[in-house]
Amino acid sequence: MCYNNGMQKLIEFENGMRLALVQNNAVRSVAIGIFVGAGVVTETSEISGISHFIEHMVFKGTKNRSSFDIVNEIDSIGAQINAYTSKSYTCFYTVSLDTNADKCADVLSDMYFNPNFDEGELERERRVVIEEINESEDTPDDVCLERLLTCFFKGHTLEKPILGSKKTLSSMTSETLKSYHKKYYIPSNTVISIAGNISEEDAVMLVKRHFVSKSDIAPQEKKPPVAVAAHKSGFTKKVKQIEQAHVAFAFPSFAYDAPEGVAVQLMSVIFSMEMSSRLFQSVRERLGLCYTIMGYPSTYENNGAFIIYTSTNPESLEKAVLAIRGEIDLLLEKGVTAEELNKGKEQLKTSLVLGQESTSSMMRTFGTHAIQTGRLYDFDARIAAIDGTSAEQVQNAAKRVFDFDRVCGSLVASTDIVNAVKLIKCTK
């Protein structure tokens, strides 16, 4: 089966594995990403963090390569190799010269199919991941935002942190990892995303040789859909001996690929994501209350959150929160201007177009979309949706997002200052 949009294609093989292909003959590089539908949403609370742990462990040796061999073979051809885990999936990828794409695919295939999960390596890497958790716990904005999502998705599978916890990591064995790997690292739960200077024939041959031919597992039933979270207003605070107060809010927003997603993106650009955005100009530039302030959507299957975050002097916290609330009220009451809307559209379209010039960016965009939706990402449709979004649609999206009856807040500061959720709920 093949979904075709010119130089962009989504090809499904007989065993259920899919190839998302983005051809670009104007470059000399190829990015290859292996997207596996394994993340927080496929974990139980007892094995929280296992997807991320496996992301680490596939680099620690296979049946055919040592951990040094993996990185040395990639370094020897001047390529890059890395990986990341999200709430919804795990990705391993390389970026190389087009002439070295086959070699990169061979290494990635070995990591995908043949990780050793050696007990000695596991113990060493367990300590590494625990240090990663320690580093995150020493970073106030990480603590603030992680606790925010746990509060926001309380009782839902998305409440779990990507890194897991020291407790869950300590209980994982080689057999635990092997069992999870066997369940989720299967063809029908995998998308190979390739972008760059490669023909369709060569890309299909590469995937067949290194991936499809090495697994005879028949297509499996699709995983059950992720449930919609039932959000309730909440507040979490942590006392930490730091100079600033870190505060963040989460509002219910739209799921990944929802029709309203473009309107929310435009709202974000206008309201809170850019240096010319309302929040930046108001809270930082005019009032001088912070250095960092941002607002952005986080999207998942059947769920979404709109996050607002800032850090400020504890004495300025109340002023900052009330200033944020004032800008939200103004947005809800008066919407956005034609000038703001046009500027926002140009910013979004420019970001999309510039991303097309990067093979790694296209690999991530098309791979993420395919693993999350099973469909081919349509660049032209996205541009058309941006152009077709009205100021009224942006204001309506804002009205649906900023539900103060279901807002959650998170505060990390040196003292127990105020309940930030009560502040954000204050009306004029």
Q: What is the pLDDT of residue 264?
A: 98
Q: Which residues contact 52 (CB under 8 A, 6 or more apart)?
A: 85, 90, 129, 162, 163, 164
Domains of the chain, start order: 2-214 (3.30.830.10), 234-424 (3.30.830.10)
Query: pLDDT tens for residues 285-296?
Result: 999 999 999 999
| Of 152, 189, 162, the residue nearest 47 (C-alpha) | 162
Question: Contacts for 206-211 with beta carbons within 8 Å, 24 or more apart?
Answer: 206/101, 206/102, 206/105, 207/13, 207/17, 207/19, 207/105, 208/13, 209/105, 210/102, 210/105, 210/106, 210/108, 210/109, 211/17, 211/105, 211/109, 211/112, 211/187
Catalytically active residues, by annotation? 55
| Of 374, 408, 349, the residue nearest 155 (C-alpha) | 408
Query: pLDDT tens for residues 170-180?
Result: 999 999 999 99
Mean pLDDT over the full length of the chain: 95
Amino acid at 319: K
Q: What is the pLDDT of residue 2?
A: 60
SS3 labels along 160-182: CCCCCCHHHHHHCCHHHHHHHHH
* Mode of pairing for the β-strands spanning 80-85 and 29-36: unpaired
Q: What is the pTM (predicted TM-score) of this model?
A: 0.95
Q: What is the pLDDT of residue 1?
A: 63
Cβ atoms of 129 and 163 closer than 8 Å: yes
Query: pLDDT tens for residues 391-417?
Result: 999 999 999 999 999 999 999 999 877
SS3 labels along 258-327: CCCHHHHHHHHHHHHHCCCCHHHHHHHHHCCCCCCEEEEEEEECCEEEEEEEEEECHHHHHHHHHHHHHH
